[in-house]
Amino acid sequence: MASLRSTSCLASASAETDAENLCATELRLAPPGVVVGEDAPAKKPSSVGAKRTLESTGPSSCDENDTAAPAKAQVVGWPPVRAYRRNTFHQSSASSAAAKKSSDEQQQGGLYVKVSMDGAPYLRKVDLRMYKGYRELREALDLLFTKCFSASAPGTHTSEGCSDGQFAIAYEDKDGDLMLVGDVPWEMFTSSCKKLRIMKGSEAR
Amino acid sequence: MGFGPGRSQSFFLVLAAARSEKLGGRGSHVQIGYEWQMCFFVCLLISCWFLGERNNLETGRKRIPSCSSSSKAVLGEGTMTYFPEEVVEHIFSFLPAQRDRNTVSLVCKVWYEIERLSRRSVFVGNCYAVRAERVALRFPNVRALTVKGKPHFADFNLVPPDWGGYAGPWIEAAARGCVGLEELRMKRMVVSDESLELLSRSFPRFRALVLISCEGFSTDGLAAIASHCKLLSELDLQENEVEDRGPRWLSCFPDSCTSLVSLNFACIKGEVNAGLNLSYAPTLDASDLTKMISRCVKLQRLWVLDCISDKGLQVVASSCKDLQELRVFPSDFYVAGYSAVTEEGLVAISLGCPKLNSLLYFCHQMTNAALITVAKNCPNFTRFRLCILEPGKPDVMTNQPLDEGFGAIVRECKGLRRLSISGLLTDKVFMYIGKYAKQLEMLSIAFAGDSDKGMMHVMNGCKNLRKLEIRDSPFGDAALLGNVAKYETMRSLWMSSCNVTLKGCQVLASKMPMLNIEVINEWDGCNEMEENHGELPKVEKLYVYRTTAGARDDAPNFVKIL
């Protein structure tokens, strides 16, 4: 995942245009033209805590507003406001300054959905907003369900990952229908996905 | 504890009975003069102990510290001759506080039995500190049960989902052993619809359900409660994650339902006289808001958004002279954002509302001078929580740390029980806290301190500390291990994104077997804790709590209990 820290676009005079192009195509979590501030939340130079929060890939993203002021990285679980209040407020608030507020900006709450896997003893939960696309989601599910389960329950299922055809990933959408993951654009998927289910390949066919 | 049989016990009981007669009935009479009663009671306990000891010296008998079965027979006879159990039980009924009842149950086995069978209200601050079955077995006649689950920082998404805190075992244990249960209060627990269904069917006299910040259930579970709890008079749901399966559950209340008195599921709390919660109303015009508040002169509790602005707070200060609790929530969560309240609003409140004892204040800036003024104006704070939205932000006027400001708060507010600090803070603030905050029970720290010394000031100085929660602060193993005996006197410690290593946690676990040391590594998966990045790997999240139940068996795979 892209680091939330801005990489400095240093360039020598001769390679300036190259560097500019490089910067322009750089993958980062900010609207184009905005430089994500590298300032640590705490002003301590050697604070481990500060470093950690910048690298934190929790449910908050650094996308904030579209103003020219450098956006400061948002920290997980900060400010200490209950999720209920966050979500409620953002849904009911009509007086938010940014008229160009996109649906991406409703990332304050996180989008946790349950993930069940056939044969697994218990469910997991993932935050769909943490992933930028299907590939990352698959990798994450792979990690969650194979590394953990194969370690704790040897012999109950093979050690292959979810993404090798052994399993299919399906989801339950708003209407309650079971759909195969990957058919619709990512944003459409995250807005309609209610639950994830990892099914044995034979069932999926 | 050695008690002389019969004689000294009777001495105590006679005096206590005489005292209780004077007080007459219970209720408000018990509240007034309660402290005196407690002093009296403690003095009697001590004097009886001494009397007992003197008896031993005179007769040369060796006192058995706890009642063995043979001496119990003697003791029992002695007690029964003088005082029937009902009298002792009646005297115990004047001790509503759980701590006191726990104390009397330590005196001897007879008192333990009397106390446990007459205990009506049980409070479990940490659901993993004791086994549910054990509580149900010990207190079969309990009527009101309160259980808390996840650590406080779970409210802010710092505890991964599926960490634990399941209500199921508690409801099941109560269903088996405590059928007289009437009230259940749960906070930060995972409650399933099945549990709610079981709850609704197991307790014929059930009348009050309070769920705060819980999750795991849907409106179907509420439907079960509505349908089967015929005597339900209070249903209080605050800030829960409830899966909404439609409004059908509301119609499950029987038509003949005349018992429901208090229904709160829209997060509007209290009556207008006592309290006003406008913290979910961002579209209220500021001037309308202040106009309304200026009429609520009897207001004791006010929750608002920062849209109220400093000016609005000045109106509150001049109108609401009875105000005891104020909460100002942020309308803009962005660290770099803007807020209409500043340190000036807080100072105005402190000047105008002398009865203020509980504060939660979100703002974007603060000064030492303001905090010092607030401390002088309101020395009665019991709860003081200040959240400056930008982590590590200094005094906005002087650019200094806010050590002196918070130092003034703990110095002046001698009754302070809960404190949350924010802004730029060095080890000095912790020195002040350790030195002055002697009544402090709960401390929340974020992005503060310079070194281990900071945390150690707190651990060594705050005698009444029960809950300590720390995030993103440079405290490491030295601080964690600086005063290990302290953890036995505390309910819990939470540390996340600090400098604690796995080794440090292991050392703590080996020194203190009565603690559960939970190392929570959410995103690394379960096995990567053993993978070494060269140096000692830092522990992402640490939760330490005392327990009689041993390691819990419902921990998910990302929690490692040392």
Q: What is the 3-state secondary structure of A105-136?
A: HHHHCCCEEEEEECCCCCCEEEEHHHCCCHHH
Which region among A12-26, A38-52, A70-84, B128-142 has the lowest average model confidence (pLDDT)?
Answer: A38-52
Beta strands, E only, B54-135: 121-124
Mean pLDDT by 10 residues, chain B (562 residues): 43 44 38 54 54 45 39 44 80 88 90 93 96 96 97 92 95 96 97 96 95 92 91 87 81 68 48 65 75 84 90 92 93 76 96 95 96 96 95 94 97 97 97 97 96 97 97 95 96 95 94 95 51 66 95 92 90
Contacts of A89 in chain B (CB under 8 A): 280, 282, 331
- Residue B49: what pLDDT? 52
Q: Is the pLDDT of residue A11 over 60?
A: no
Taking CA atoms, what residue in B is nearest to A52? B497
Shortest Cα distance from B348 to chain A (angstroms)?
Answer: 24
CB atoms B280 and A89 under 8 Å: yes
Answer whether B558's CB lies under 8 Å from B505's CB: no
Tokens coding B556: 């998910």
Q: Tell me the pLDDT band of A118, cut-offs 50, 70 and 90.
A: confident
Answer whether B261's CB lies under 8 Å from B233's CB: yes
Please report, for residues A6, A8, A9, A60, B241, the alpha-carbon distance to residue A26 in angstroms, rounded to integers and kept in the order given. Answer: 10, 11, 10, 21, 38
Contacts of A49 in chain B (CB under 8 A): 447, 471-474, 497-498
Tokens coding B39: 């002093």
Q: Which of B153, B157, B558 sits opposite A59 (nearest CB)?
A: B157
Answer whether B372's CB lies under 8 Å from B408's CB: yes
Q: Is the pLDDT of residue A95 over 70?
A: no
Cα dihedral: B225, B227, B231, B233 (round 10): 60
Cis check: omega of the bond before A79, within 30 degrees of 0:
yes
DSSP B48: H
Q: Looking at this predicted complex, what is its ipTM?
A: 0.74
Shortest Cα distance from A120 to chain B (angstroms)?
Answer: 13
Shortest Cα distance from A178 to chain B (angstroms)?
Answer: 19
- Residue A31: what pLDDT? 54
Q: Is the pLDDT of residue A190 over 80?
A: yes
Contacts of B279 in chain A (CB under 8 A): 85
- Residue B40: what pLDDT? 57
Chain A, residues 144-203, CB within 8 A of chain B, namely: 144, 147-148, 151-152
- Residue B44: what pLDDT? 57
Nearest Cα residue to B127 out of B68, B170, B185, B77: B170
CB atoms A144 and B387 under 8 Å: no
How many whole angstroms separate alpha carbon B147 and alpha carbon B174? Answer: 12
Q: Is the pLDDT of residue A72 over 70?
A: no
Strands B541-546 and B559-561: unpaired
Mutation choice for B interface testing from A39, A44, A65, A146 by most B CBs within 10 A: A44
Beta strands, E only, B383-473: 383-388, 418-420, 442-446, 467-471
What pTM, to 2 d.p., does this model score?
0.67
CB atoms A81 and B329 under 8 Å: yes
How many whole angstroms separate alpha carbon B377 and alpha carbon B380? Answer: 9
How many whole angstroms separate alpha carbon B287 and alpha carbon B312? Answer: 8
Shortest Cα distance from A58 to chain B (angstroms)?
Answer: 9
Q: Which residue has the higher pLDDT, B535 or A159?
A: B535
How many whole angstroms separate alpha carbon A123 and alpha carbon B103? Answer: 43
- Residue B86: what pLDDT? 87
CA dihedral sign of residues B554, B556, B559, B562: positive
Answer whether B136's CB lies under 8 Å from B176's CB: yes
Instruction: Please report, as a single letter, which amino acid is at residue B286.
Output: A
CB atoms B162 and A122 under 8 Å: yes
- Residue A117: what pLDDT? 84
Q: Which residue has the higher pLDDT, A67 or A124?
A: A124
Report the SS3 class of residue B144: strand
